[in-house]
A = this chain, B = another copy of it.
Amino acid sequence: MRILKALKKEPIDRIPFWYMRQAGRYLPEYLQLKGSDSFLELAMNPKKAIEISIQPYKRFRMDAIILFADILTPLQAVGIPIEFHEKIGPTLKYDVFNKDDLKKIKNFEPEKQVFYVREIIQGIKNYIKNINDDNVALIGFSGAPFTLLSYLVEGGTAKKFEKTKEFMFNFEKDFHHLMEDITNLTIEYLKFQIQSGVDLVQIFDSWGGILSYHHYEEFCFPYLKKIIKNIKQYVPVILFVGNNAHLVKLLSLLEPDCISLDWRVEDITMIPENIAIQGNMDPLVLFGSSERVKKETLNILNKFSKRKNFIFNLGHGIYPNTPLHNVEVMVQTIKEYRLNE
């Protein structure tokens, strides 16, 4: 698999690529299959989730298929009520200070609570086996504890994260206690995905970039350290933190196999050569002219391909309404790019 080879700096014929949220609303075939189903309904429907995971591969033949699942799946599994509303996003009903809410949390029993995730993983693996493409890897994923905690505390997607920081800066013990619980849940969830057949995993700390370097070090670092140490003995771990330009040094100290770069990351000198890098392209470049898309794709390739352990990706998930012809231009530019040996 091209991505696994790149992670280990083994010889590759071309730069491997996939892109975050590659299965999603910019694809007409996704919108058709989705119909009026909510995101959560799709993620719990193995037949549809397998097809959705595969859709981008069928179109662009990237080097990885990522499991179609919801970042909130493990929280829902242990009994946190979650609703999805079009345009609003998820709504979680949980009060971190209510002891009755705390009591309702169940033990995590993946075979019972998220059996469908195994079905989806196995379905995608079967597809890959049947098409006989040795290069394509299956990526599992999980949210990072801080990001999951912020959904819990905010009750959904936030803008300024006032409630999360209020909780963090006022009730440190409760914060750390909850982070510890979510960390253990995340490890079990990732292990379940690995046992089910994923080839590598990506951890998404989508909201981690709202914290300063020192707050990330104090409030997130120990938990990510525990997860990464635990998981990377089984499969390679890619770490994505949104808006992470100021955190790159700290993320390197976590020793993931690969760091996924936001488009704003400029200086990567503090990432040791043995840690692979991925990403760095602004997904909104894809809203520009095709000449611009080609130029920026080449810039990224020229900048990073010498590193030997680089995976092409965007600096953030691809947006709905992204013009498909520009994705095509980006993909063609990567595939035609010749590596100088």
* Chain A interface residues (CB < 8 Å from chain B): 160-162, 165-166, 168-170, 209, 211-215, 243, 245-246, 249, 263-267, 282, 284-285, 287-289, 292, 299, 319, 321
Q: How far is the CB of A149 from chain B (nearest CB, A)?
A: 15
Contacts A/B (CB < 8 Å), 14 sampled: A165-B285, A165-B287, A166-B287, A166-B288, A168-B288, A169-B288, A169-B292, A170-B289, A213-B266, A215-B282, A243-B243, A245-B245, A245-B264, A246-B246
Identify the closest chain B residue to A321 (Cβ).
B162
Q: How far is the CA of A215 from the CA of B283 in the complex (A)?
A: 13
Closest to A216 in B: B264
Complexed CA–CA distance, A165 and B321 (Å): 13
Q: By DSSP majority rule, is chain A's interface helix, strand, loop, or mixed?
A: helix
User: How far is it, in angstroms, between the C-alpha of A249 and the C-alpha of B165 when the chains are bound?
Assistant: 29
Docked complex Cα distance between A267 and B212 (Å):
11
A162 touches which of B267, B284, B289 (Cβ 8 Å) = B284
| Chain B: minimal CB distance from A250 (Å) | 9
In the assembled complex, the Cα of A215 lies from the Cα of B321 at a distance in Å of 22
* A292–B321 CA distance with the chains assembled, in angstroms: 43
> A61–B135 Cα gap in the complex (Å)?
65
Partner of A264, one of B165, B213, B263, B289: B213
Tell me which residues across on chain B come within 8 A of A267, comparing CB atoms: 246
Q: Which of B161, B168, B243, B284 contacts A166 (CB 8 A)?
A: B284
A162 touches B213 (CB 8 A): no
Pair B165/A284 contact, Cβ less than 8 Å = yes
A259 to chain B, nearest CB (A): 15
Contact (Cβ within 8 A) A287 B209: no
Within the complex, what minimum Cβ distance (angstroms) separates A330 from chain B?
Answer: 13
Minimum C-beta distance from A173 to chain B (A): 12
Give the distance to chain B from A132, nearest Cβ to Cβ, in Å. Answer: 39
Closest chain B residue to A292, Cβ basis: B169
Q: Min CB distance, A167 to chain B, in Å?
A: 9
Complex CA gap A267/B263 in Å reads: 18
Q: Which B residues lie within 8 Å of A266 (CB)?
A: 212-213, 246, 249
User: Across the interface, do B212 and A169 meet the contact criterion of CB distance under 8 Å?
Assistant: no
Q: How far is the CB of A119 from chain B (nearest CB, A)?
A: 34
A168 to B285: give the CA distance in the assembly, Å: 9
A217–B243 Cα gap in the complex (Å)? 19
Q: Are A162 and B215 in contact (CB under 8 A)?
A: no
Contact A287:B169 (CB < 8 A) given known A213-B264, A215-B282: yes
Q: Is the CB of A264 within 8 A of B292?
A: no
Q: How many Å from the CB of A125 to the closest CB on chain B?
A: 34
Enumerate chain B residues within 8 angstroms of A215, measured Cβ to Cβ: 282
The CA of A153 and the CA of B264, in the complex, are separated in Å by: 22
Chain B neighbourhood of A246, CB < 8 A? 245-246, 264-267
Considering the complex, give the chain B residue whose CB is closest to the CB of A243. Answer: B243
Contact B165 A212, beta carbon cutoff 8 Å: no
Q: Evaluate contact between B162 and A287: CB separation under 8 angstroms.
A: yes
Known: A160-B284, A243-B243, A266-B246. A289 touches B213 (CB 8 A): no
A202 to chain B, nearest CB (A): 21
Known contacts A166-B287, A168-B288; 17 further A-B pairs (Cβ under 8 A): A161-B284, A165-B285, A166-B284, A169-B284, A169-B285, A169-B287, A169-B288, A169-B289, A170-B287, A212-B282, A213-B266, A214-B299, A243-B243, A245-B245, A245-B264, A246-B264, A249-B266
